[in-house]
Amino acid sequence: MRDAVPAFSLREAAPEDIDELAELHVAIWRETYRELAPAEAFAALDVPRRKAFWQDKFDHPPAGQGIFLAEVNGELAGFCLTSASSNPDFGEMAEIKFLYVSGDFKRQGIGKRLISEAARHLAAAGYRSAGLGVVEGNEPAIRFYSALGGREAGRYTDAGPLWRSRNIIYAWPDVTSLFAV
C-alpha cells in the first residue's frame, strides 16, 4: 500500500526564509546536477554563495519577481523564482528562473502547484507568456515540462557563474495554460 501524499502549502517567501532557502537550493542543485555539472561547479556552490544570491533577490527585485515556497508539515519542500527575463533568447517571455522540489517530496504535485502559482503571478504582473531553461541532459525536468505542455522554443548557453551549461528553452505562449496543471 502506498503511503498517503502529505498535505503541503504554498506561500510567498520573505527575507527571514533566506537561510533555509539557500540550504535547500544547494541541496537540490547538487542532487539535480550531480551527473551533469563539472566538479568545479560543485566546489564553487555553497550555502554562503546562495544566501548572497537570495539576499540580492529580496534587496533588488527585478520586474515580475515572485518567490514561492512549498512546505510540508512546516518543512521547506520546494521553491520557484520568476521574473522578467534578462536573457534575450527569451524574447518577450517572462522567465521561470528556478523550479526545484526536494527529492523527498517529488511526484506529489508540488512542482505543478508551484508552476501554477508562478504562472498566476506572472499573468497578474502583465506577462502573457513564460519560459524556462532546462540543462541539456536533465531528462526528468524535460519530461515534466513537456507533460505540462511546454514546447521547445530555442537553445542557449548559460553564461555562468558556475558553469557554462547548454540549455533548452521550454515555453508556454499562453501563461494561463499553466493555471490548471
Give residue-wise pLDDT tens across range 16-43. Answer: 999 999 999 999 999 999 999 999 898 8
Q: Domain residues of the chain, as ranges?
A: 9-178
Chain segment 67-110, per-residue pLDDT in tens: 999 999 889 999 999 999 999 999 999 999 999 999 888 988 99
**How many residues are given for the chain?**
181
Task: Please give the class, per CATH, of domain 9-178.
Answer: alpha beta
**Angstrom distances, CA of residue 177 to CA of 51, 57, 80, 117, 152:** 33, 27, 18, 12, 16
Nine-digit cell at 163?
558553469
- In whole angstroms, what is the distance from residue 156 CA to residue 88 CA? 10
Please, where are the H alpha helices in 46-168?
47-59, 110-124, 139-147
pLDDT value at 7 more than 80: yes
The answer on pLDDT for 1 being more than 50 is no
